[in-house]
Amino acid sequence: MSTNDDDADAVVEDGWSENGNNNHGVIKAPTPGVVRQKLPRRTVLTIQRELERIARRHRRLLALDSTNTRDRKKILEPRHATTEFHGNYYRDQENVIENENENDDEDEHYASLFDEFARVVCYSKVIPRKELFEAWAMALYVHYYFPPSKEEDHHHYCDESDNENDDGDNTDTGNDNDDDNSNNGNGKSKVYYQRVADLASGHGLVSWAVLLLDQSRTRTAICIDKSIPKSTDIIEQVMTKYHPSVMYDDANHNQNQIGIEERPEKQQQTLIKKRWHYVEGDICRNVLADSTTLIVGVHCCGTLSDSILELAISSNAPLCLIPCCHTVKSLPLEQRQDDVIDSILQQNIEKNNDDHGNSNGSHLPLLPTTKTDYIDQYRIQQLIDAGYTVQEERIPSVITPKNRIIVATPRLLSLDQEDILRDDNGYDNISSGDSKIIDNVDEHNNENNDYTTKHITTATTKNHTSSTTESSKVFTIPLADNEWSRSIVASQLSGRIAARMRKRRKPQNLNLSLYLPHPDKSLPLKSLNNLATTIATEIQNQKSFQNNTTTTKAVDDARYNKVVLYPTIITSVEYGAKGAVYTHPDTGTYSRSFRIKYEINDPTGIHPEVTKEEAKVLHKEVCRRIPIEFPGITLRQGIR
Ligand SMILES: C[S@@+](CC[C@H](N)C(=O)[O-])C[C@H]1O[C@@H](n2cnc3c(N)ncnc32)[C@H](O)[C@@H]1O
């Protein structure tokens, strides 16, 4: 083991096991986060310079000089916190900084904030190297273009001479007023976006970087992905541990209450205070976008980028998008064939040669000559047509080759959209109609509940469909930056348990019909239910039910502190529909139907629901025992 490894072990003792799991919730802190009063002004140019410098400095980590690019995907380890991100940015002897003149004070501030972020990421032991740099890069641009408040807006304290350098390298594809960021391009005062929705968020790293950059601690973030990766829990724990002010409104929040030690009864209260939430859901079906919330998407594969774009446009929300895995399916139907697109690109090449071939003087923009550029150009055009101001930025390609950021600011706001924008003091104006969605969210088990048709700006599926299960259709994730939406997210939708509850199968309902001695003196429901519950307990005690799945899951999820290793099956009985009454041919007794529900008593949603097969076993035994337990009553229909 190298000296560095030794150092790392010394730092992380008792905290993290080899597989990256936190065993005891005790982590020795790397240098704790420092909340500064105000970071220096930043421009697009300084962002680019900073990113290039960070990449150069960590060239070995990023394997920039190697042909083996797989190294870039290796997981960051705690030892890197001390070897790479130790905060001595300019005194690093091992990594030569090429241009010492560039080392000015303002860069140092940001570099050390990056180091703080990176150290925490290293301690999570779940993030591939290059993703740290990508996330930070995206966060810098998000923060630059969409600051959460006037105080965080670099233009607020940017003097005129600064503006000359400001947008030097970025491509303005939308309009002509990008030098002045103080309004929204329509003469109205600038809207600040405190809430950020990181869509298709994966680990959710971008959202954490965005929150960390906001020194005013007014930002909130919601991550949405169709499946919550395990890594998110770990990152949440380390971020909360080392940067509690990023996570909680209350900077004095008692850290001992946070994370894995937290008891269930405290969770609800704590959830609502959090600035960061993760909701499992389908972007194409479940998301209700809103003009008050900035939409961010990093490496959104294929048509997922288009769905996110549609979400933004349909709600007039600002957007920062890094598309990836381009496919012709993103194009209009008539251009989706390879030969069609190839011929368009060929024409573009020829036209560019004509326009630019013989002189440097042409001011015509170069036409896209690759599929990737063409598809992104088509996307940008859709935004411009919808009234957006669009800018393109590039993350240095040494960090990621899929590096185009489409930055889209909505220019014109319609009156009703303005109505629901937050006012200066907070959040307002939930129209009474909106409350309908609350009911629907509550009834997420009801598959007939199609509330996605109301108020909805979901990225529906003009061209792009999603292969999501039925269950994900029946709830909506509101993105709006108002108290109501944030509290629905916090209290009902976010987290792994809520996701499991939504996906859980319905309880099993099985029918039976009995011949009763007297039509008016029916078998009491309570008596039948007692029998069903007794039988369920007896059979469950034989441990033939729920064993395999439950045990592994229980161990896996033990950190939620809510686990019941063998959750009990509960039953409930009701009368069946009133239909024809049958008379027993021999005894003359009368028929009556009943319905028994078999379900798991598990409010956490962690355990799988009773399967149909399991319910049938229970039901068969109930049917067998009824004549024994209730003399005079016989089975007309059921499972024999
Ligand atoms: C390439 S990853 C990007 C993750 C993250 N943004 C990043 O940069 O690391 C794409 C993510 O999109 C998610 N995803 C794909 N289709 C989705 C959908 N319809 N709804 C929500 N998430 C989806 C995947 O689960 C995956 O986490």
pLDDT the model gives residue 551: 42
Average pLDDT over residues 69-82: 90
pLDDT the model gives residue 182: 47
What are the tens digits of pLDDT across the range 319-334?
Answer: 999 999 999 999 999 9
pLDDT the model gives residue 243: 87
Confidence of residue 359 (pLDDT cuts 50, 70, 90): low
Whether residue 338 sits in one domain with residue 212: yes
* DSSP, res 264: H
pLDDT the model gives residue 555: 40
Residue where a domain terminates, one of 415, 440, 461 = 415
Domain assignment present for 423: no
Cα(225) to centroid(ligand 1), Å? 6
Residue 529 confidence (pLDDT) above 50: yes
Residue 205 confidence (pLDDT) above 90: yes
Residue 299 Cβ inside 6 Å of ligand 1? The answer reads yes
Residue 282 Cβ inside 6 Å of ligand 1? The answer reads yes
Residue 249 confidence (pLDDT) above 90: no
Domain assignment present for 459: no
Domain assignment present for 420: no
Residue 84 confidence (pLDDT) above 50: yes
Q: How many domains does the chain have?
A: 2
pLDDT the model gives residue 322: 97
Residue 91 confidence (pLDDT) above 80: no
Kindly state the tokens that stand for 145.
Answer: 């273009």
Whether residue 268 sits in one domain with residue 139: yes
pLDDT the model gives residue 453: 28
Residue 212 confidence (pLDDT) above 80: yes
Query: Pairing between strand 508-516 and 569-575?
Result: unpaired
Domain assignment present for 287: yes
By three-state DSSP, how is residue 599 classified? strand
Residue 279 Cβ inside 6 Å of ligand 1? The answer reads no
Name which residue leads in pLDDT, 162 or 230. 230
Rounded to an integer, what is the distance from CA 450 to the centroid of its chain? 23
Residue 202 Cβ inside 6 Å of ligand 1? The answer reads yes
Residue 227 Cβ inside 6 Å of ligand 1? The answer reads yes
Tell me the C-alpha distance between 378 and 478, whole Å: 28
Cα(202) to centroid(ligand 1), Å? 5
Strands (E), 170-288: 171-172, 195-199, 220-225, 276-280, 287-288
- CA dist 478 → 225, 274, 291, 447, 474 (Å): 14, 16, 11, 19, 13
Strands (E), 135-273: 171-172, 195-199, 220-225
Domain assignment present for 236: yes
Beta bridge partners of 388: 410
pLDDT the model gives residue 169: 40
pLDDT the model gives residue 72: 87
pLDDT the model gives residue 224: 98
Amino acid at 585: P
Mutating to test ligand 1, I would choose from 124, 132, 201 the residue with most ligand atoms within 8 A of its C-beta, which is: 201
By three-state DSSP, how is residue 170 classified? coil
Average pLDDT over residues 612-621: 93
Edge to edge, the sheet with strand 634-637 lists 569-575, 590-600, 508-516, 634-637
Domain assignment present for 187: no
Residue 304 Cβ inside 6 Å of ligand 1? The answer reads yes
Whether residue 522 sits in one domain with residue 402: no
Whether residue 509 sits in one domain with residue 410: no
- Residue 158 burial (C-beta neighbours within 10 Å; 0-12, 13-18, 19+): middle
pLDDT the model gives residue 361: 59
Burial readout 66-90 (b: 16 or more C-beta within 10 A, e: otherwise): eeeeebbeeebbbbbbbbbbbbebe
Confidence of residue 303 (pLDDT cuts 50, 70, 90): very high
Percent of the chain at pLDDT exceeding 90: 43
pLDDT the model gives residue 545: 58
Q: How would DSSP label each residue in 564-589?
A: -SSPPEEEEEEE----PPPB-TTT--
Cα(300) to centroid(ligand 1), Å? 6
Tell which atom from ligand 1 comes closest to the C-alpha of 138.
8
Residue 219 confidence (pLDDT) above 50: yes
Kindly state the tokens that stand for 282.
Answer: 């389908």
Kindly state the tokens that stand for 610.
Answer: 């009773």
Which protein residue has the closest C-alpha to ligand 1 atom 24?
Answer: 200
Domain assignment present for 488: no
Tell me the C-alpha distance between 137 and 47, whole Å: 8
Confidence of residue 360 (pLDDT cuts 50, 70, 90): low
Which protein residue has the closest C-alpha to ligand 1 atom 8?
Answer: 298
Residue 620 confidence (pLDDT) above 90: yes
Residue 242 confidence (pLDDT) above 60: yes
Task: Please say whether the beta carbons of 545 and 539 come within 8 A.
Answer: yes
Name which residue leads in pLDDT, 229 or 168. 229
Task: Please say whether the beta carbons of 219 and 195 come within 8 A.
Answer: yes
Tell which atom from ligand 1 comes closest to the C-alpha of 227.
25
Kindly state the tokens that stand for 57.
Answer: 């400095």
pLDDT the model gives residue 71: 85
Those residues whose C-beta lies under 8 Å from the C-beta of residue 41, and which sit 6 or more positions away, are 106, 154, 157, 158, 162
Mean pLDDT rounded to a whole number for the chain: 74
* DSSP, res 217: -
Rounded to an integer, what is the distance from CA 542 to the centroid of its chain? 41
Backbone angles phi, psi at 586, to 5 degrees: -95, -45
pLDDT the model gives residue 138: 97
Domain encompassing residue 253: 3-176+193-415
Residue where a domain terminates, one of 397, 415, 433 = 415
Q: What is the CATH number of the domain that holds 569?
A: 3.30.70.380
Residue where a domain terminates, one of 415, 440, 466 = 415
Mean pLDDT check: name the lowest of 8-22, 210-224, 372-386.
8-22
What are the tens digits of pLDDT across the range 405-452?
Answer: 999 999 765 555 555 444 433 333 333 333 233 233 333 333 333 322
Domain assignment present for 182: no
Mutating to test ligand 1, I would choose from 127, 282, 300 the residue with most ligand atoms within 8 A of its C-beta, which is: 300
Average pLDDT over residues 548-562: 42
Task: Please say whether the beta carbons of 135 and 206 come within 8 A.
Answer: yes
Average pLDDT over residues 543-550: 50
Beta bridge partners of 512: 594
Name which residue leads in pLDDT, 175 or 436. 175
Name which residue leads in pLDDT, 423 or 108. 108
Q: What is the CATH number of the domain that holds 197?
A: 3.40.50.150
By three-state DSSP, how is residue 309 classified? helix
Residue 283 Cβ inside 6 Å of ligand 1? The answer reads yes
Name which residue leads in pLDDT, 553 or 114. 114
